[in-house]
């Protein structure tokens, strides 16, 4: 098959003339045997125009693929049409845009495509599903291999790309992906959508091109000014990727992101609000940061999300501690422990550090005891900190009880012992405590 170099009228006539063969090629043939018959007939089959011969309501999408594919492929590439059930037809791209059918044995239709990278320098896989188009997913049997081995490109039909010369995750890998995304955006203006610009910005950020990433998000916002995710990612780019960071700009973009999200979905954009608080804190504006975290906690009472509530409580606790507000910081950490949305180890240890640094011995002892009895079977630090506190306080009877309980836990929870031994200071404290009471350090 080849791409006709004709004007649009002639191209339309070619479509009508080739419709039967193209339908066979792009749809029926994908079922299996017809594809192989077509490949075996190459001796007399002249290459057909590469056309999505479909007259349904999605015609425009296929026309855009007619434009995009010639811009992306080059001679020597492998090109695959795949149906959602996993059947596919394989073509080699020849000179001047010819698509030459390749014979595929029926038993090889289940290949996972890693081997194609060894056979062809570059591989393109287009999944043909006119019902879903942008929302198409790879066939379940191939999904893992495609996502592991190939780039996913935001074309009107789900498209994957592989290049054996590119080491996955290398700078050249991301540079190539940025180039491909820019080509898609340039070649098909009608199919531009926010996700394309989000993808492009993320790729630029991966290889340290902060200004190009911000430009990608801004180009997207010029077309989709109310998209909250573009505003949020631009704000994140200003915060994390610019040197020096542009915290004020990050705050502005995240504020707009939340406003757009509320307008579109009637829900706060938690990460945007959270990022605003972090940017205020980075600017040294601790009062504004505290107010922002407080605003987020208030919203979370109506729009409940336990994970974001936990994150906010932890960051607000740290901010309160920096401002010398120990009781308020302790209250936030206690609320987080009670919420149980994330592992409690962080807040227990942070709370113990806070009490220890501020001389609150009774609160420290009670918290260490609570931590021990609630998490000692799964968290070795709960054991270590309680034992250390009892040793320092010289509470021999309570220490003897705790050691015997902990030895019992270690006998049934085998990961506790090696985890304790892996920390020399904690293992030393544990060993000294057990030996002082005539107990073996090991269960």
Residue 395 three-state SS: coil
Residue 37 CB partners (closer than 8 Å, separation 6+): none
- Provide, for the chain, the percentages of residues in helix, strand and coil under a 3-state DSSP scheme, each rounded to the nearest 5: 65, 5, 25
DSSP 122: E
pLDDT given for residue 147 in this prediction: 85
In this prediction, residues 283-310 reach a mean pLDDT of: 96
Enter the tokens of residue 268.
């706060």
Mean pLDDT to the nearest integer, 7-16: 36
Residue 401 has pLDDT above 60, yes or no: yes
Nearest Cα residue to 95 out of 75, 80, 78, 79: 75
Measure the CA–CA gap between 23 and 252, rounded to whole angstroms. 51
Kindly tell me if the per-residue pLDDT of 151 is higher than 50.
yes
pLDDT score for 426:
93
DSSP assignment letter at 170: S
The stretches of 41-189 forming alpha helices (DSSP H) are: 59-72, 114-119, 140-149, 171-187
When pLDDT is averaged across residues 386-408 and rounded to a whole number, the result is: 96
On the question of pLDDT at 397 being above 90, the answer is yes
Q: Which of 44-48, 378-382, 426-430 has the lowest mean pLDDT?
A: 44-48
Q: 258: closest CA among 235, 224, 281?
A: 235
DSSP characters for 327-352? HHHHHHHHHHHHH-SS-THHHHHHHH
Q: Is 1.25.40.10 the CATH number for 192-285?
A: yes
The model's pTM is 0.78
Predicted local distance difference test score (pLDDT) of residue 95: 85
pLDDT beyond 60 at 386 = yes
| 431 pLDDT more than 90 | yes
Residues 308-347 have pLDDT tens digits of 999 999 999 999 999 999 999 999 999 999 999 999 999 9
Q: Is the pLDDT higher at 100 or at 255?
A: 255
Q: Is the pLDDT of residue 17 over 50?
A: no
**pLDDT greater than 70 at residue 47:** no
Per-residue pLDDT band at 110 (split at 50, 70, 90): low
For residue 150, is pLDDT > 60?
A: yes
Band of residue 68 on the pLDDT scale cut at 50, 70, 90: confident
Q: Does residue 392 come out as left (phi exceeding 0), alpha (psi in the -120 to 50 range) or beta?
A: alpha
> Is residue 406 predicted with pLDDT exceeding 80?
yes
Mean pLDDT confidence for 64-70 = 81
Q: How confident is the model at residue 1 (pLDDT cuts 50, 70, 90)?
A: very low
Mean pLDDT of 269-275: 97
Of 42-56, 245-259, 407-421, the least confident: 42-56
* pLDDT computed for residue 82 by the predictor: 85
Whole-number pLDDT of residue 117: 81
The mean pLDDT value for 53-82 works out to 71
What does the block give as tokens for 132?
């879903």
Lowest-confidence pick of 50-59, 260-269, 327-336: 50-59
Does the structure show a pLDDT above 90 at 34?
A: no
Mean pLDDT of the chain: 84
Mean pLDDT confidence for 264-269: 94
Kindly list the domain boundaries of the chain, sorted by start residue. Answer: 1-188, 192-285
Average pLDDT over residues 184-202: 89
Please, which pLDDT band fits residue 32 given cuts at 50, 70 and 90?
very low
When pLDDT is averaged across residues 25-44 and rounded to a whole number, the result is: 36
Which range has the worst mean pLDDT, 11-20, 117-126, 163-172?
A: 11-20
Q: What average pLDDT does range 385-411 have in this prediction?
A: 96
CA atoms of 179 and 188, how far apart (whole Å)? 14
């Amino acid at each position: 098959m080849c791409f006709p170099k004709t004007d649009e009228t002639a191209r339309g006539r070619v479509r009508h003339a080739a419709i039967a063969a193209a339908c066979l090629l792009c749809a029926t043939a994908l079922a299996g045997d017809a594809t192989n018959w077509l490949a075996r007939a190459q001796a007399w089959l002249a290459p057909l125009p590469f056309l999505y011969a479909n007259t349904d309501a999605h015609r425009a999408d296929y026309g855009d693929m007619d434009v995009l594919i010639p811009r992306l492929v080059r001679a020597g590439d492998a090109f695959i049409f795949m149906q959602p059930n996993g059947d596919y037809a394989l073509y080699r791209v020849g000179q001047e845009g010819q698509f030459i059918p390749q014979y595929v044995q029926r038993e090889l239709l289940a290949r996972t495509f890693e081997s194609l990278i060894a056979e062809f320098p570059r591989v393109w896989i287009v999944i043909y599903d006119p019902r879903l188009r942008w929302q198409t997913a790879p066939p379940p049997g191939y999904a893992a291999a495609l996502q592991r081995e190939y780039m996913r490109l935001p074309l009107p039909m789900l498209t994957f790309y592989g290049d054996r010369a590119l080491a996955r995750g290398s700078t050249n890998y991301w540079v190539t992906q940025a180039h491909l995304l820019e080509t898609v955006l340039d070649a098909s203006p009608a199919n531009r959508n926010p996700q394309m610009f989000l993808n492009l910005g993320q790729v630029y950020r991966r290889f340290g091109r902060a200004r190009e990433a911000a430009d990608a998000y801004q180009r997207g916002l010029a077309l989709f000014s109310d998209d909250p995710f573009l505003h949020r990612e631009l704000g994140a780019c200003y915060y994390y990727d610019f040197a020096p960071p542009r915290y004020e700009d990050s705050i502005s973009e995240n504020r707009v992101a939340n406003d757009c999200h509320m307008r579109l979905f009637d829900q706060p954009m938690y990460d945007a609000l959270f990022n605003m608080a972090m940017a205020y804190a980075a600017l040294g504006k601790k009062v504004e940061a505290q107010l922002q975290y407080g605003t987020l906690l208030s919203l979370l009472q109506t729009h409940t999300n336990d994970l974001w509530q936990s994150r906010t409580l932890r960051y607000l606790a740290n901010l309160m501690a920096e401002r010398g507000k120990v009781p308020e910081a302790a209250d936030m950490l206690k609320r987080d422990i009670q919420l149980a949305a994330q592992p409690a180890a962080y807040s227990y240890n942070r709370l113990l550090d806070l009490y220890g640094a501020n001389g609150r011995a009774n609160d420290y002892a009670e918290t260490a005891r609570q931590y021990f009895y609630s998490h000692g079977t799964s968290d070795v630090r709960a054991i270590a900190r309680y034992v250390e506190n009892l040793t320092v306080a010289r509470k021999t009877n309570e220490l003897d009880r705790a050691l015997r309980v902990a030895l019992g836990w270690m006998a049934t929870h085998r990961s506790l012992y090696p985890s304790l031994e892996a920390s020399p200071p904690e293992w030393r404290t544990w060993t000294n405590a057990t030996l002082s009471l005539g107990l073996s350090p090991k269960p």
